[in-house]
Amino acid sequence: MAMPDDPDVTPADVDARPGVDRPVDPLVWPAEEGLHHLHPAAPRIWRMVTVSWAVVSGAAAIIAGLVIAGVAGAVIGAGVGAVVVALAWWYPARRYRYWRYRIGDDALELRRGVWFRSSSAVPFHRIQQIDVEQGPLQRRHEVVTLRLRTAAAASEGQIPHLAAAEADLLRDRLLAIARSETDDGH
Amino acid sequence: MVAIDAPADGRRLHPVSPVIDVITWLPRMWPLVFVALSRSWGPLVLGSAVAVFAVVGGVRWATTTYAFDGRELVVASGLWNRTVRRAPVDRVQQVDVVRKLRHQALGVSLVQVKLADAGPLGGDIALDVLSIAEAESMKVALEQARRSAVLGDGVAASVPPPPEHELLRVSDTLLAVGGVTGASLLFVPAGVFALMSMLDDARLDDDAGRVLGDLSVVVGGLGFVIVSIGVAAVVSVLRSHGYRMARRATDLVIERGLLERRATVVPLARVQVVVLHQNLVRRRLGLASVDVATAGRLTGEGSGSANDSVPVVRLADASAVVRVAMGARDVPDADRATVPVAIRRLVRRRFIVGAAATIWVPIVFGVPWSWVTLVAAAAGAASGVPAGRARRHGIGADAVIVESGVVAWRSAVVPLDRVQSWSVTQSPFQRRHGLHHVSIHVSGVRTVRVLDVSAAQSAALVSALRRSVG
């Protein structure tokens, strides 16, 4: 079976050859062209959730330390709790920085992840359903989550914390593209 | 608001449905049965339980109707909460007609219509139960309707049903070999372990009874192993006796089972991924099993039937089934090997896992037992090299093939036109070496993962996936 991208060389050759004109790394998107950020309120919403959990965890660590090793344990627990709270404060901003989406030629592409980077694509003509969801914190900041469903249970098409108006526009646009793709026979 | 309308000309299930319900539910209440049988008031409680099940089953029967108008199957059910499920013919992934022992005893069949539905209701519509004739006519009607959807009403009606071409039959002997060499093989090490522990216990006996004790233990242990192997073989034969796969136009027809007869129709257009499995023993014997997966997802009774489509066959026959299931698509070669850095990463990971899993041994039993941890870590590291080399993938014009595993080797073929979405992920450890995981999602719950590929390899994969939607 000949390889469609380069029939004359083995894959190992392609990987090993320096300076070869190879496809772009899927996790490295060129420039910032066509890339969209989430709503600026996203890190605040994430932070409210993560810091709340971190404070509860820190309190549990202090109590556990106090029960197990007295005051010294409580101090250690407080230290651990402080680190967790600091991480919970810092992480949402980084998460926001790495969260991007773009509407490609044939698919909606999402890129995210601070430590664990991820890039996913949902072809337009595979979209079965688009849900717009809004939780209490999101309602306060007038943002929504756009969830794209395909026939695959594991598809990862979810854009959190979009401005409500932008989400409506994006949903209509995606539905229009999906409809035209389907009409074209996909 | 749209009203939930039950089909006007709805038919009821077979009147023995409540009896089937009682037979199905009663074994699940075994603690109650156990307690009831040991008490004087037991028969009364047991009778009440049966009566309750019968009433619930009767209500289910009385409130469930179904109708098929040639375009969609409509099933209405529920007393308080009415549910009407509609299954358009062009959304049907697979049709099964199942006859378990209880169905055979009562002369009825269960019809399962599997849909690509990951919702809370599950991915199937079960008509539990219909008369045998009604079940067969429902299956035929669904097939006819699907052909009409493809060919047009007039053409489909004028053309006789397509003939079947038998692809393969599996003999009971081969099924027995498959049972012994398949997952049931786990019975054998359990038997050997039992033999060893019994031998160990026998050493504690006094000298006089030692020889006799050892002999009886050996015989008992060997007997246990033989029984384990026999059970594995018999279970496999019972499950797949009379296995037959045929092709009828664009469908695969599979019939199997002794106590539970199952006839499955898999439209080839609904095949999402085809997986060929081989373990070390089967590889030696030149045997393999094939899993032809559709998007259908079953819950409850009969679940898992979409898997293990071919329990065991010669490798050549298995490869032929893969080609048939792929239709006109080319199956590519897995010609892209794992890059060396990925193998080194796997060796390191398995070393750490081996050490971490056994680190408790020297902690609990003392430093002299450290050799256990060292051996486990070394064995883990050593297994990383063949495991890394076994990971291969290939990209064709129509499909992607992904191979992995040493002890349990699998080769998954994904038609590119079936791909729903994909994702590329990278952990901090992978980032150091420029490695990625690529996950390919198809309809249903299946995801095929290509692990630890280089950036260039993942880019080529994504490029092929993009071409499939371009």
DSSP state letter for A126 = G
Q: What was the pLDDT predicted at B401?
A: 96
A106-121: average pLDDT: 90
Q: With bands split at pLDDT 50, 70 and 90, how would you rate the model's confidence at B190?
A: low
Instruction: Categorize the per-residue pLDDT at B197 as very low, low, confident or very high, splitting at 50, 70 and 90.
Output: low
One domain, residues A179 and A118: yes
Same domain? A105 vs A177: yes
Mark whether A113 and A49 lie in a shared domain: no
Q: How many CB atoms lie within 10 A of CB B302?
A: 19
Say if residue A158 is in the same domain as residue A145: yes
Whether A18 maps to a domain, the answer reads: no
Q: How many CB atoms lie within 10 A of CB B219?
A: 10
A28 secondary structure, DSSP code: S
Percentage of chain B beyond pLDDT 70 is 84
Q: Within 13 Å and on the Cβ side, how many CA atoms surround B259? A: 8
CA separation (Å) from B366 to A87, B354, B355, B357?
38, 18, 15, 16
CATH of the domain at A165: 2.30.29
Q: Identify whether the C-beta of residue B424 lies closer than 8 Å to the C-beta of residue B459.
A: no
pLDDT of res. B195? 62
With bands split at pLDDT 50, 70 and 90, how would you rate the model's confidence at B27?
A: confident
Out of A1, A14, A120, closest to residue B421 by CB: A120
Separation of alpha carbons A66 and A62, rounded Å: 6
User: Across chain B, what does the average pLDDT equal?
Assistant: 84
* Residue B419 C-alpha from the chain's centroid: 20
Alpha-carbon distance B76 to B12, whole Å? 10
Q: Is residue A21 in some structural domain?
A: no
**Range of A7-16, B33-42, B279-288 with top mean pLDDT:** B279-288
Residue at a domain's end among A98, A122, A150: A98
What is the pLDDT at residue B151? 66
More confident residue, B468 or B418: B418
pLDDT tens sequence across B349-368: 999 999 999 999 999 998 89
Kindly indicate the confidence band of residue B192, based on its pLDDT and cuts at 50, 70 and 90: low
What the block records as the tokens of B281 is 């023993």
Q: Is residue A2 part of a domain?
A: no
Q: Is residue A17 part of a domain?
A: no
Q: What is the structure's pLDDT at B383?
A: 94
Residue type, position A58, single letter: G
Q: Residue B16's CB: how many other CB atoms inside 10 A?
A: 19
Q: What percent of chain B has pLDDT over 90?
A: 43
Task: Please identify among residues 152-171 of chain A the ones whose CB lies closer than 8 Å to any CB of chain B.
Answer: 152-157
In terms of average pLDDT, the best of A95-109, A168-182, B338-352 is B338-352
Q: Kindly tell me if the per-residue pLDDT of B198 is higher than 70.
A: no
- Residue B20 sits at the chain A interface (C-beta within 8 Å): no
CB proximity A1 to B under 8 Å? yes
Q: How many CB pairs under 8 A join A and B?
A: 134
pLDDT at position B2: 39
Q: Is A5 on the interface with B (CB under 8 A)?
A: yes
Closest CA to A157 of A143, A168, A171, A177: A171
Given a contact cutoff of 8 angstroms between Cβ atoms, the answer to whether B302 and B96 are in contact is: yes
DSSP code at position A24 = P
Closest to B313 in 3D by CA, of B405, B247, B240, B248: B240
Mean pLDDT of A44-68: 93
From A56, A73, A98, the end of a domain falls on A98
Can you tell me the distance from the alpha carbon of A156 to that of B256, in angstroms, rounded to the nearest whole number?
Answer: 37
Sign of torsion over alpha carbons B220, B223, B229, B235: negative
Last residue of a domain, one of A46, A65, A98: A98
Residue A57 is assigned to a structural domain of this protein? yes
- Alpha-carbon separation of residue A77 from A52, A83, B145, B188, B202 (angstroms): 17, 10, 67, 50, 53
Assess whether A108 and A162 both reside in one domain: yes
DSSP β-ladder status, B92-99 and B83-88: unpaired
The pLDDT of B237-247, averaged and rounded, is 92
Mean pLDDT, chain A, as a whole number? 82
Residue A124 has pLDDT above 80, yes or no: yes
Residue B306 predicted with pLDDT over 60:
no
Tell whether the model's pLDDT for residue B373 goes beyond 90: yes
**Domain total in chain A:** 2
Q: Residue A10: pLDDT above 90?
A: no
B73/B117: higher pLDDT: B73
Residue A139 lies in a domain: yes
In a domain, A144, yes or no: yes
Poorest-pLDDT segment among B32-36, B364-368, B454-458: B32-36
Nearest to B398 by CA among B415, B411, B412: B415
Residue B7: pLDDT above 70?
no
Mutate to test the interface with B, among A10, A25, A122 (most CBs of B within 10 A): A25
In this model, does residue B273 exceed pLDDT 80? yes
Same domain, A55 and A94: yes
User: Do residue A134 and residue A167 come from a single domain?
Assistant: yes
pLDDT at B1 over 50: no
Residue B243 has a pLDDT of 94
pLDDT, tens only, B87-106: 888 778 888 899 988 898 89
pLDDT band at A18 (very low <50, low <70, confident <90, very high): very low
In one-letter notation, the amino acid at residue A136 is: P
Find the mean pLDDT for residues A136-151.
Answer: 90
Residue B60 distance to chain A (closest CA, Å): 30
Say if A184 is an interface residue toward chain B (CB within 8 Å): no
- pLDDT the model gives residue B309: 83
How confident is the model at residue B405, as a pLDDT? Answer: 93
Which position has the token pair 């035209």? Answer: A180
3-state secondary structure of A3: coil
CB B340 within 8 A of CB B391: no
| Structural domain boundaries, residue A145 | 100-183
Cα distances from A89 to residues A49, A53, A62, A97, A104, in angstroms, run 10, 11, 19, 14, 33
Percent of chain A past pLDDT 70, that is, above it, reads: 81
How far apart are alpha carbons A74 and A61 in whole angstroms? 8
Highest mean pLDDT (candidates A11-20, B299-308, B324-333, B383-392): B383-392
**Which one of B419, B421, B432 would you mutate to disrupt binding with A, by most A Cβ within 10 Å of its Cβ?**
B421
Set of chain B residues whose Cβ sits within 8 Å of the Cβ of A23? 456, 459-460, 462-463
Q: How far apart are CA B297 and CA B264, in angstroms?
A: 14
Q: Is A176 domain-assigned?
A: yes
Same domain, A86 and A105: no
The verdict on a CB contact (< 8 Å) between B436 and A27 is yes
Q: Are residues A133 and A71 in the same domain?
A: no
Q: Does the structure show a pLDDT above 90 at B244?
A: yes
Same domain, A120 and A65: no
Does one domain contain both A78 and A143?
Answer: no
Lowest mean pLDDT among A26-35, A174-183, B45-54, B81-90: A26-35
